[in-house]
Structure formats: structure tokens, C-alpha cells
């Protein structure tokens, strides 16, 4: 790997990512798709006394909608399928799909600049057990969309 391409920061479309890179939508320190798609991430940042990014959030929703081929009023699940399929079409040799995005989780796993008193960094449980994740229709649908795109 010679690099990492995080969609939130990339000006280029996924189809133009370098082959020897890891493609992702987000990271553990950044908003989840559901958090950005619903506006909940900025609301949460504000509740923690941190700077929110409402304008950037709106811009990212427009970018996701365009690349995912969905309207901005689409369900989070449809946006996730579409954007991860777009990332799957990138030439990047590796692609990460976060469990938070696959499950529609709004909260980030980690909020840099906070302490345990403000936010339980790295301590949030996923909303489903592994056994339920393995059978979850939205997760399976997203995996199938990525699989089709990678072929």
C-alpha cells in the first residue's frame, strides 16, 4: 500500500483513486455515513461543546448522493449501498467498509479531543451481535453491492 484514500477528503472520484491504495469512506475518528446523512454528527458535536460542521456535512451529503446515485432524501441504507458500490469500483486494491456504516450507526467510535467524561470513546457497542450482523439484510445487501462492483 502506498496510500489511503478517505472519501470525505478526496476531491477525485473513487474511479480515479490509485490502485496501490486503501479506499474508505471514513475512519474511526470521522463521522459515520449515517451521522453525516442525517445531520446527527454535527448535532452531537455541538452537544459536546465541539465545533460542528453543518456546511461541510451538507456538502458531503450532496457528494455522497451524487456518487451513490441516490437522492438526498434516500434512506441511509440506500446511500450506504450506493456509496460503497462506488468505492468498490475504484481501482484501489483494498477497500474497508465500517461496521458502523453497514449497520447505520450514527455515532462515531471516537471523538478526538474528548475525554471519557464527555464521550465513551472506543466503548460503544454495536447495535447487533456478530451473529445478527452475519444475517442482517442491510449488511448482506451492502456486501453484495460491493462484491458486484469489485468484479
> Which whole number is the average pLDDT over 114-127?
89
Neighbours of 98 (CB within 10 A): 20
Which residue, among 101, 103, 109, has the nearest Cα to 129 in the 3D structure?
103
Q: How confident is the model at residue 50, as a pLDDT?
A: 83
The CA-atom distances, in angstroms, between 96 and each of 23, 61, 143 are 6, 20, 11
Q: Give per-residue pLDDT as tens, 7-26.
A: 999 999 999 999 999 999 99
Grid look-up 442525517 returns 38
* DSSP code, position 22: E
H helices of 49-105, in order, are: 54-68, 76-88, 99-102
Total domains present in the chain? 1
What does the mean pLDDT of the chain come to? 94
β-strand partners of 5: 23
Give percent of the chain above pLDDT 70.
Answer: 99
Whole-model pTM? 0.93
- Helices (H) then strands (E): counts for the chain: 7, 3
Residue ranges making up the domain that contains 115: 4-150
Amino acid at each position: 500500500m502506498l496510500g489511503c484514500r478517505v472519501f470525505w477528503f478526496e476531491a477525485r472520484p473513487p474511479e480515479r483513486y490509485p490502485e496501490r491504495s486503501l479506499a474508505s469512506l471514513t475512519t474511526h475518528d470521522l463521522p459515520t455515513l449515517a451521522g453525516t446523512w442525517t445531520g446527527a454528527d454535527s448535532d452531537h458535536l455541538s452537544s459536546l461543546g465541539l465545533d460542528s460542521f453543518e456546511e461541510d456535512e451538507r456538502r458531503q451529503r450532496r457528494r455522497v448522493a451524487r456518487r451513490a446515485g441516490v437522492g438526498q432524501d434516500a434512506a441511509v441504507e440506500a446511500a450506504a449501498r450506493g456509496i460503497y458500490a462506488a468505492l468498490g469500483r475504484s481501482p484501489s486494491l483494498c477497500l474497508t467498509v465500517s461496521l458502523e456504516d453497514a449497520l447505520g450507526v450514527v455515532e462515531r467510535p471516537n471523538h478526538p479531543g474528548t475525554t471519557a467524561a464527555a464521550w465513551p470513546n472506543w466503548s460503544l457497542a454495536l447495535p447487533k451481535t456478530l451473529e445478527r450482523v452475519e444475517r442482517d439484510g442491510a449488511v448482506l445487501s451492502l456486501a453484495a453491492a460491493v462484491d458486484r462492483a469489485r468484479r
